[in-house]
Structure 1
Protein backbone atom coordinates (compact mmCIF):
# COMPACT_ATOMS: atom_id res chain seq x y z
CA UNK A 1 0.00 0.00 0.00
CA UNK A 2 1.26 3.47 -0.90
CA UNK A 3 -0.29 6.47 0.91
CA UNK A 4 0.15 10.09 -0.15
CA UNK A 5 -0.68 12.32 2.85
CA UNK A 6 -1.95 15.85 2.17
CA UNK A 7 -3.06 18.64 4.50
CA UNK A 8 -4.56 21.04 1.93
CA UNK A 9 -3.35 24.04 3.91
CA UNK A 10 -2.78 26.32 0.93
CA UNK A 11 -5.02 29.36 0.42
CA UNK A 12 -6.53 28.01 -2.80
CA UNK A 13 -8.18 24.61 -2.38
CA UNK A 14 -8.54 24.15 -6.15
CA UNK A 15 -4.84 24.83 -6.70
CA UNK A 16 -3.89 22.44 -3.90
CA UNK A 17 -6.32 19.78 -5.14
CA UNK A 18 -5.04 20.08 -8.73
CA UNK A 19 -1.44 19.64 -7.58
CA UNK A 20 -2.41 16.72 -5.37
CA UNK A 21 -4.40 15.02 -8.11
CA UNK A 22 -1.51 15.43 -10.55
CA UNK A 23 0.91 13.94 -8.04
CA UNK A 24 -1.49 11.05 -7.29
CA UNK A 25 -1.87 10.39 -11.01
CA UNK A 26 1.93 10.39 -11.54
CA UNK A 27 2.42 7.90 -8.71
CA UNK A 28 -0.35 5.67 -10.07
CA UNK A 29 1.17 5.74 -13.56
CA UNK A 30 4.69 5.06 -12.23
CA UNK A 31 3.48 2.03 -10.27
CA UNK A 32 1.64 0.72 -13.34
CA UNK A 33 4.68 1.33 -15.55
CA UNK A 34 6.89 -0.62 -13.13
CA UNK A 35 4.29 -3.43 -13.03
CA UNK A 36 4.01 -3.00 -9.28
CA UNK A 37 0.80 -4.31 -7.79
CA UNK A 38 0.60 -1.66 -5.07
CA UNK A 39 -2.59 0.11 -4.09
CA UNK A 40 -2.32 3.90 -3.80
CA UNK A 41 -4.37 6.02 -1.41
CA UNK A 42 -4.77 9.74 -0.90
CA UNK A 43 -4.90 10.61 2.82
CA UNK A 44 -6.96 13.74 3.49
CA UNK A 45 -7.82 15.46 6.79
CA UNK A 46 -11.38 14.52 7.81
CA UNK A 47 -12.49 18.17 8.06
CA UNK A 48 -11.17 18.97 4.58
CA UNK A 49 -12.96 15.92 3.18
CA UNK A 50 -16.25 16.95 4.82
CA UNK A 51 -15.98 20.61 3.81
CA UNK A 52 -14.47 20.36 0.33
CA UNK A 53 -14.72 16.87 -1.12
CA UNK A 54 -18.53 16.87 -1.26
CA UNK A 55 -18.35 19.10 -4.34
CA UNK A 56 -19.97 17.29 -7.29
CA UNK A 57 -16.95 17.84 -9.59
CA UNK A 58 -14.50 16.58 -6.96
CA UNK A 59 -16.67 13.48 -6.39
CA UNK A 60 -16.91 12.94 -10.18
CA UNK A 61 -13.11 13.28 -10.45
CA UNK A 62 -12.58 10.78 -7.62
CA UNK A 63 -14.93 8.23 -9.18
CA UNK A 64 -13.65 8.66 -12.75
CA UNK A 65 -10.05 8.24 -11.66
CA UNK A 66 -10.76 5.48 -9.14
CA UNK A 67 -9.04 7.37 -6.34
CA UNK A 68 -8.91 5.54 -3.03
CA UNK A 69 -9.08 7.87 -0.05
CA UNK A 70 -8.27 7.67 3.63
CA UNK A 71 -9.52 10.42 5.94
CA UNK A 72 -7.67 11.13 9.16
CA UNK A 73 -7.85 13.29 12.26
CA UNK A 74 -5.01 15.82 12.12
CA UNK A 75 -4.53 16.09 15.89
CA UNK A 76 -4.65 12.40 16.84
CA UNK A 77 -3.24 11.22 13.47
CA UNK A 78 -5.90 8.50 13.55
CA UNK A 79 -7.61 7.08 10.46
CA UNK A 80 -11.31 7.99 10.40
CA UNK A 81 -12.54 6.54 7.08
CA UNK A 82 -11.12 4.13 4.57
CA UNK A 83 -12.71 4.66 1.14
CA UNK A 84 -11.20 2.23 -1.40
CA UNK A 85 -12.17 2.28 -5.10
Structure 2
Protein backbone atom coordinates (compact mmCIF):
# COMPACT_ATOMS: atom_id res chain seq x y z
CA UNK A 1 0.00 0.00 0.00
CA UNK A 2 1.31 3.44 -0.89
CA UNK A 3 2.01 6.07 1.74
CA UNK A 4 -0.56 8.75 2.50
CA UNK A 5 0.12 12.28 1.32
CA UNK A 6 1.14 14.67 4.12
CA UNK A 7 -2.15 16.56 3.65
CA UNK A 8 -4.34 13.45 3.62
CA UNK A 9 -5.96 14.13 7.00
CA UNK A 10 -6.31 17.83 6.17
CA UNK A 11 -8.29 17.09 3.00
CA UNK A 12 -10.38 14.44 4.75
CA UNK A 13 -11.32 16.97 7.47
CA UNK A 14 -12.05 19.66 4.84
CA UNK A 15 -14.40 17.31 2.97
CA UNK A 16 -16.19 16.33 6.17
CA UNK A 17 -16.58 20.03 7.13
CA UNK A 18 -18.10 20.58 3.69
CA UNK A 19 -20.75 17.92 4.35
CA UNK A 20 -19.15 14.96 2.58
CA UNK A 21 -19.20 11.46 4.01
CA UNK A 22 -15.97 9.54 3.51
CA UNK A 23 -16.90 6.11 2.17
CA UNK A 24 -13.42 4.70 1.51
CA UNK A 25 -10.00 5.72 2.79
CA UNK A 26 -8.41 4.74 0.43
CA UNK A 27 -10.55 3.62 -2.49
CA UNK A 28 -8.95 0.34 -3.62
CA UNK A 29 -9.51 -0.84 -7.19
CA UNK A 30 -8.03 -4.05 -8.61
CA UNK A 31 -7.71 -3.51 -12.34
CA UNK A 32 -5.77 -6.61 -13.37
CA UNK A 33 -3.43 -9.07 -11.70
CA UNK A 34 -0.57 -6.56 -12.06
CA UNK A 35 -2.46 -3.29 -11.59
CA UNK A 36 -4.01 -2.36 -8.27
CA UNK A 37 -4.56 1.27 -7.34
CA UNK A 38 -5.41 3.21 -4.20
CA UNK A 39 -7.07 6.55 -4.77
CA UNK A 40 -6.67 8.59 -1.58
CA UNK A 41 -10.32 9.19 -0.69
CA UNK A 42 -13.83 8.36 -1.83
CA UNK A 43 -16.70 10.47 -0.59
CA UNK A 44 -20.37 11.09 -1.21
CA UNK A 45 -22.83 13.85 -0.45
CA UNK A 46 -26.59 13.95 -0.74
CA UNK A 47 -27.68 16.94 -2.80
CA UNK A 48 -31.18 17.89 -1.64
CA UNK A 49 -32.06 20.04 -4.66
CA UNK A 50 -31.22 17.18 -7.00
CA UNK A 51 -32.50 14.43 -4.67
CA UNK A 52 -29.41 12.46 -5.58
CA UNK A 53 -26.07 11.46 -4.17
CA UNK A 54 -22.93 12.89 -5.68
CA UNK A 55 -19.90 10.56 -5.50
CA UNK A 56 -16.30 11.65 -5.84
CA UNK A 57 -12.82 10.22 -5.62
CA UNK A 58 -9.98 12.50 -4.55
CA UNK A 59 -6.27 12.14 -5.23
CA UNK A 60 -4.27 14.41 -2.91
CA UNK A 61 -0.97 15.99 -3.93
CA UNK A 62 1.18 18.20 -1.72
CA UNK A 63 3.79 19.31 -4.31
CA UNK A 64 6.48 19.53 -1.63
CA UNK A 65 9.22 17.74 -3.61
CA UNK A 66 12.31 19.30 -5.13
CA UNK A 67 10.63 20.13 -8.44
CA UNK A 68 7.04 21.29 -8.68
CA UNK A 69 7.17 20.70 -12.44
CA UNK A 70 8.21 17.05 -11.97
CA UNK A 71 5.51 16.58 -9.34
CA UNK A 72 2.99 18.06 -11.75
CA UNK A 73 4.02 15.60 -14.47
CA UNK A 74 3.58 12.70 -12.06
CA UNK A 75 0.26 14.01 -10.75
CA UNK A 76 -1.19 14.44 -14.25
CA UNK A 77 -0.13 10.95 -15.31
CA UNK A 78 -1.50 9.41 -12.14
CA UNK A 79 -4.74 11.39 -12.44
CA UNK A 80 -5.31 10.26 -16.03
CA UNK A 81 -4.65 6.61 -15.16
CA UNK A 82 -7.00 6.81 -12.18
CA UNK A 83 -9.71 8.40 -14.30
CA UNK A 84 -9.51 5.52 -16.80
CA UNK A 85 -9.75 3.05 -13.90
CA UNK A 86 -12.80 4.82 -12.48
CA UNK A 87 -14.48 4.94 -15.89
CA UNK A 88 -14.07 1.18 -16.12
CA UNK A 89 -14.85 0.09 -12.54
CA UNK A 90 -16.67 2.94 -10.76
CA UNK A 91 -18.11 5.22 -13.41
CA UNK A 92 -20.48 7.07 -11.08
CA UNK A 93 -17.53 8.71 -9.30
CA UNK A 94 -15.97 11.99 -10.44
CA UNK A 95 -12.23 12.27 -9.88
CA UNK A 96 -10.66 15.40 -8.38
CA UNK A 97 -7.04 16.37 -7.83
CA UNK A 98 -6.65 18.05 -4.42
CA UNK A 99 -3.97 20.74 -4.15
CA UNK A 100 -3.11 23.31 -1.45
CA UNK A 101 -4.06 26.95 -2.01
CA UNK A 102 -0.46 28.19 -2.20
CA UNK A 103 0.41 25.73 -4.99
CA UNK A 104 -2.81 26.58 -6.79
CA UNK A 105 -2.08 30.31 -6.64
CA UNK A 106 1.66 30.13 -7.36
CA UNK A 107 1.92 27.26 -9.85
CA UNK A 108 -1.49 26.33 -11.21
CA UNK A 109 -2.03 29.89 -12.46
CA UNK A 110 0.70 29.34 -15.08
CA UNK A 111 -0.71 29.43 -18.62
CA UNK A 112 0.87 26.08 -19.58
CA UNK A 113 -0.52 24.38 -16.47
CA UNK A 114 -3.94 25.88 -17.25
CA UNK A 115 -3.72 24.53 -20.81
CA UNK A 116 -2.93 21.03 -19.50
CA UNK A 117 -5.80 21.15 -17.01
CA UNK A 118 -8.19 22.26 -19.74
CA UNK A 119 -6.96 19.77 -22.37
CA UNK A 120 -7.28 16.79 -20.01
CA UNK A 121 -10.31 18.14 -18.14
CA UNK A 122 -8.65 17.80 -14.75
CA UNK A 123 -10.98 18.81 -11.95
CA UNK A 124 -9.39 20.46 -8.92
CA UNK A 125 -10.26 20.65 -5.26
CA UNK A 126 -8.26 23.48 -3.69
CA UNK A 127 -7.86 23.33 0.09
CA UNK A 128 -6.53 25.64 2.79
CA UNK A 129 -3.95 23.79 4.89
CA UNK A 130 -4.35 25.61 8.21
CA UNK A 131 -8.11 26.14 8.11
CA UNK A 132 -8.67 22.57 6.83
CA UNK A 133 -11.30 23.89 4.44
CA UNK A 134 -12.12 23.58 0.78
CA UNK A 135 -11.53 26.94 -0.88
CA UNK A 136 -12.46 26.10 -4.46
CA UNK A 137 -13.97 23.37 -6.60
CA UNK A 138 -12.68 23.90 -10.13
CA UNK A 139 -14.36 21.97 -12.92
Q: Would the TM-score normalized by the shorter structure come out above 0.5? A: yes
Q: CA deviation at 1:78?
A: 0.7
The number of aligned residues is 84
CA distance in 1, matches of 2:100, 2:133: 10
2:99 maps to 1:44: yes
Query: Which has the greater radius of gyration?
Result: 2
TM-score normalised by length of structure 2: 0.58
TM-score normalised by length of structure 1: 0.93
Choose between structure 1 and 2 for higher RCO, CA contacts under 8 A separated by at least 6 residues. 1
Q: Where is the helix percentage greater, Structure 1 or Structure 2?
A: 1
Runs of at least 4 residues off by over 3 Å = none
Compute the RMSD of aligned alpha carbons.
1.0
1:17 to 32, 53, 72: 72
Consecutive unaligned residues of structure 1, counting only runs of 5 or more, are none
Consecutive unaligned residues of structure 2, counting only runs of 5 or more, are 1-55
Q: CA deviation at 1:11?
A: 1.2
